[in-house]
């Protein structure tokens, strides 16, 4: 998802199992016979995929040699991948960058991986649960909060998300009228 102006807006890069890396794409299939690959973009910054940029696959550094587009799909040529057989071995693999390669986001904007796991409380102090998933939407994201009473869906909009404190691990929200009751009826 691209950045939004509301607090709690986020970019869609996700953390890899190895916390030094952040996933920005996934190899879908080989493209042609010269080692190019089709890539599903998983970043709000597609300009990351430009010649000479360094990426990692399974922790191994690769340099982007060439970039092209084919029917809205990114096609990459990576260093040391020179034939269709080499490209086939990358199918399903994540394309990562190091966390220190992340773009600095504007104030009140966050990467999804920074929000997953945050505790959610209301402005009156009621604990609601923990963010387990983020659903990307056209106009705003929706935070899926797991609680002892089930799932609560929290829209990532300025009227609801009041503050995010990454250091202390929580998000404070002001539920709009009926939000919590609606969610509790659906999950109960």
CATH architecture of 116-187: Roll (2.30)
Spatial distance between the Cα atoms of 23 and 5, rounded to a whole number of angstroms: 24
Query: Which parts of the chain register pLDDT below 50?
Result: 1-9, 15-16, 18
Say what the pLDDT of residue 128 is: 93
Q: Which residues contact 183 (CB under 8 A, 6 or more apart)?
A: 150, 151, 152, 153
Spatial distance between the Cα atoms of 3 and 12, rounded to a whole number of angstroms: 9
CB atoms within 10 A of CB 11: 22
pTM of this structure? 0.66
Quote the tokens at residue 175. 């539920």
Say what the pLDDT of residue 108 is: 84
The order of strands in the sheet holding 161-165 is: 150-155, 142-147, 127-135, 119-122, 170-173, 161-165
Closest Cα partner for 13 from 4, 139, 3? 3
CATH architecture of 9-101: Beta Barrel (2.40)
Q: Where are the domains of the chain?
A: 9-101, 116-187
Say what the pLDDT of residue 106 is: 87
Angle at 92 between CA 94 and CA 137, to 5 degrees: 70
Say what the pLDDT of residue 72 is: 79
Say what the pLDDT of residue 183 is: 64
Say what the pLDDT of residue 8 is: 45
Q: Could you write out the DSSP letters of every residue in 138-170?
A: SS--EEEEEETTEEEEEE--TTTEEEEETTTTE
Output the CA–CA distances (angstroms, integers) from residue 116 to 23, 104, 110, in the order listed: 15, 18, 11
């Amino acid at each position: 998802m691209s950045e939004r102006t509301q607090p709690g807006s986020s970019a869609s890069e996700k953390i890899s199992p190895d916390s030094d890396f952040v996933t920005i794409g996934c190899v879908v299939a080989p493209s042609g016979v010269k080692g190019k690959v089709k890539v599903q973009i998983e970043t709000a910054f597609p300009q990351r995929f430009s010649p000479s940029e360094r990426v990692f696959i399974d922790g191994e550094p690769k340099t982007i040699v060439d970039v092209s587009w084919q029917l809205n799909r990114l096609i990459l040529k990576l260093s040391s991948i020179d034939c269709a057989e080499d490209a086939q071995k990358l199918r399903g693999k994540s394309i990562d960058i190091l966390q220190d390669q992340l773009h600095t986001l504007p104030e009140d904007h966050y990467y999804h991986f920074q929000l997953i796991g945050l505790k959610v409380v209301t402005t009156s102090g009621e604990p609601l649960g923990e963010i387990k998933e983020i659903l990307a939407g056209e106009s705003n994201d929706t935070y899926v909060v797991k609680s002892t009473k089930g799932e609560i869906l929290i829209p990532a909009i300025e009227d609801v998300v009041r503050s995010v404190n990454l250091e202390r691990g929580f998000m404070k929200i002001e539920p709009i009228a009926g939000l919590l009751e609606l969610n509790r009826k659906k999950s109960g």
